[in-house]
Chain A
Amino acid sequence: MPPIRVFAGLIIVAVAAVLASVNSFQLSSQLQPDPWSVEAAVQRFAGASAQLPPHEALGYISDLGVNGPAFLTAQYALAPRLLVPVGRQDPEQAIGNFSKPSDYAGIGAKAGYGVVADLGSGVVLYRKMKR
């Protein structure tokens, strides 16, 4: 039997540690599912990923810019292909990532790309137009 001071210390620490674990578990139960919409992006781009060549850089056309989660989740969903904002480089094919219905053809044409397929949910396949 350990001294009472030791025993009290052990009891307090053991109980508190278990309570801390319970608290962590409760916090984890309240986590927002897919907070960055990564899984949603993987689902949205699954069709495009199946149609695109697996090992080529892709142009990136979007109304959401390239400085936020929309670009990063698209890059993750379509990797190992490297997404390159059109204008910097002009790969043969490009992917469109739009937040709302737009004039996809017009936006693509400005960058020199024509629509190949509108896959829905704001995902559009483009190919470089011949000049």
Chain B
Amino acid sequence: MIAGLLLFLPAVVIGWSAVRIFCVLPGRPVWLRALLEISLGVGVGAGIVSVAFFALLWAGEAGRAAIVCVEGVLATGGVWLAMRRRVVNSEATAAAHSPWIWLLRAAAVLALLFFALDVSNSMEANPHGGWDAFTIWNLKAKFLAGGSVDWRNAMSPVAGGTLFGANHPGYPLLLPAAVASAWSMQGETASATPAALSLLFALATAAILCGAIAWLRGEAAGLLALLLLLASEGFVSQAGLQNADVPLGFYLLASLLLLVVANESGWPRDTLLLAGLCASFAAWTKNEGVPFAILAVAAVAWKGGRKAAGWTALGALPVAAVIAAFKFLLVHDVEGMFPRTFGEAIAKATDLSRWIKIAESFVQSIWQMGEPLTHPVLLAAILAAALGLAPRNRMRQHVWLIVPVIGLLAADFAAYLITMADLTWQLSTSNVRLLVQVWPALLFLAFLILSPAVLPDIQKPAPGKIKRKHSRDSVLHSK
């Protein structure tokens, strides 16, 4: 596992550099900035490495030397640029720590400990991951790691045999390419490597949720958000299974956080570019990321105007181009789960019983996210009762952020409506995982509408007052 984690260190460094270069994050407290930069860097770095490796593969140059060279250049150049961008301290209000914060810190440490043990058990029982991991994601990673001869097998329509729903030639390749890149450097396909990436994504998701809410609503609220995520059995049970749902959840959450940062800071170009990049990585992780990315740009257009949306779209453009090239030039088969004619789709979509069945399944999946007495929805309701909700005008300020998340769920609902697969089977095998994808983002949004005014710590930097010493342009052009 340690070796697996070390293999992704260059990716984390690359990602951290990109975050530091492109995003204005709080300067104080230092731990909070570091937490957010590193955890965002995990996903941004994995995405960049994934795209770079895929491009090398396609160019026929994915040997170990080429990968080391590209990652080395990206990491070195990134760190050099990042270190030239110093961040001044934010104008934080004076910290007034209540001793009660230690209660939440202790609870968070305990929950993290049990989370680590849980993931360890899961990885021990499933060293190659869950069903989707070994039939889709890690299998594709093995094909990609096969190099210039075998990598196109990842788009093969027969790799899953004749089992219905087992062949996914057009599934996006962020996770497989990131794992294959590490395997290519490693010289073997050790099962600990995708397990390490799975763990990194889960921890980074938890860290972003905690850090983002701590930044926006104070440390106590951040710790409570972390506790609710770790109380979500659905999320925790997926963390060690090496599926793509937790990584997708990471990119959804990261995109939303960056959009909040952009909104709070007057829509700076750099942050919007990074938000667009994260949204495009969501689409490069799973097909569900496509509607999210489109709706994220639309939401920015609504809230921040066309110019802001344009920068977000520009940030998404490079990876969107890679996805388009992948889908149109390399994938020659369509998913068997979708109807081939419009008439088939209409017939299924107008069947009322399917609507009811899908709605019931969503409710059941929410129920399955936790145990009845400690269910995260119940805990969120208790918090809402204890703390109250934010003033209505502040809640209205966040409505636009719900659009991409609800839109994604609506797209999932529509996909179920028209699926050619047995609906009961498809719902039972995927619906909980769809909720896992949006769960961290939903918790983030829920904490934005809670009132933190009475929480026992007041260390909230003023997001709008955070400034860099240098603007991006001044850094790039200075000597």
Which residues of A are at the interface with B, using a C-beta cutoff of 8 A?
A: 1-3, 5-25, 27-29, 31-36, 38-39, 42, 54-55, 65-68, 71-73, 75-76, 79-85, 88
Contacts and interface: CB of A to CB of B under 8 A. Distances in A.
Nearest to B110: A18
Given A72-B166, A75-B139, A17 B230 contact: yes
A83 B151 CA distance: 14
Interface in B303-327: none
Contact of B121 (A10, A28, A68): A28
Given A13-B382, A34-B125, A23 B161 contact: no
Contact of A18 (B111, B159, B233): B111
Nearest to B120: A28
Contacts of B87: none
Contacts of B76: none
A129 B96 CA distance: 81
20 contacts: A7-B456, A8-B386, A9-B382, A10-B455, A10-B456, A13-B224, A16-B231, A16-B378, A18-B227, A20-B370, A22-B114, A24-B118, A31-B126, A38-B126, A39-B128, A67-B164, A72-B135, A79-B146, A82-B159, A84-B158
A12 B382 contact: yes
Given A6-B455, A13-B382, A72 B160 contact: yes
Contacts of A23: 233, 371, 374
Contacts of B444: none
Interface in B349-392: 370-371, 373-374, 376, 378-379, 382-383, 385-387
B112 to A, nearest CB: 8
A2 B143 contact: no
B338 interface: no
B114 A72 contact: no
Given A6-B387, A16-B373, A82-B150, A66 B107 contact: no
A75 B163 CA distance: 13
Nearest to A88: B158
B240 to A, nearest CB: 8
B376 to A, nearest CB: 8
A55 to B, nearest CB: 4
Contact of A72 (B100, B151, B161, B224): B161
Contacts of A25: 114-115, 117-118, 121
B429 interface: no
Interface in B97-133: 98, 100, 103-104, 107, 110-111, 114-115, 117-119, 121-122, 124-128, 131
Given A20-B370, A24-B236, A68 B122 contact: no
A124 to B, nearest CB: 18
A20 B230 contact: yes
A76 B454 CA distance: 54
Interface in B414-437: none
Nearest to B378: A16
B162 interface: yes
A33 B124 contact: yes
A79 B142 contact: yes
A124 B158 CA distance: 21
A73 to B, nearest CB: 7
A34 B126 contact: yes
| 3 nearest A-B pairs in the assembled complex, by CB-CB distance | A9-B386, A80-B146, A20-B231
B237 A27 contact: yes
Contacts of A13: 224, 227-228, 379, 382-383, 386
Contact of A35 (B117, B119, B126): B126
A27 B224 CA distance: 23
B89 interface: no
B219 to A, nearest CB: 13
A88 B227 CA distance: 53
B117 to A, nearest CB: 5
Contacts of A71: 161, 163
Contacts of A81: 150
Contacts of A10: 100, 103-104, 220, 224, 386, 455-456
Given A31-B125, A33-B125, A55 B146 contact: yes
Given A2-B98, A28-B117, A38-B127, 16 more contacts: A1-B98, A2-B456, A5-B386, A6-B454, A9-B387, A12-B379, A21-B231, A22-B114, A27-B118, A31-B121, A33-B125, A38-B126, A42-B128, A73-B134, A76-B135, A80-B150
